[in-house]
Amino acid sequence: MGSEIAREDYARPVRIGAVGVGGRGGGLLKILAGMEGVQIPAICDVSPEIVEARQNVVVKAGHKKPDGYSDGDYKSLRDIRV
């Protein structure tokens, strides 16, 4: 019964906008990118270099390249509709 519920849940992906993807956040992002049923449409960090590196991590895990934000305004993620 539990596996049937899990399969139904995968029909509706969990969408995560990640903010702060440096050290620990980068590790968590890698774990999330490897999980079935998870989409990462956007990531944000104060460092443009880190944003680009983490976008590559998500793509390498087989996902679409997420939008990247490094302008310091993490609140702009609230307006994203996927």
Decide if pLDDT at 21 tops 80: yes
pLDDT, residue 1, reads: 47
CATH topology of domain 2-79: Rossmann fold (3.40.50)
pLDDT, residue 41, reads: 93
Model pTM? 0.78
Decide if pLDDT at 5 tops 60: no
List 38's β-bridge partners, or say none.
14
- Domain segments of the chain as ranges: 2-79
pLDDT tens sequence across 22-54: 999 999 999 999 999 999 999 999 999 999 999
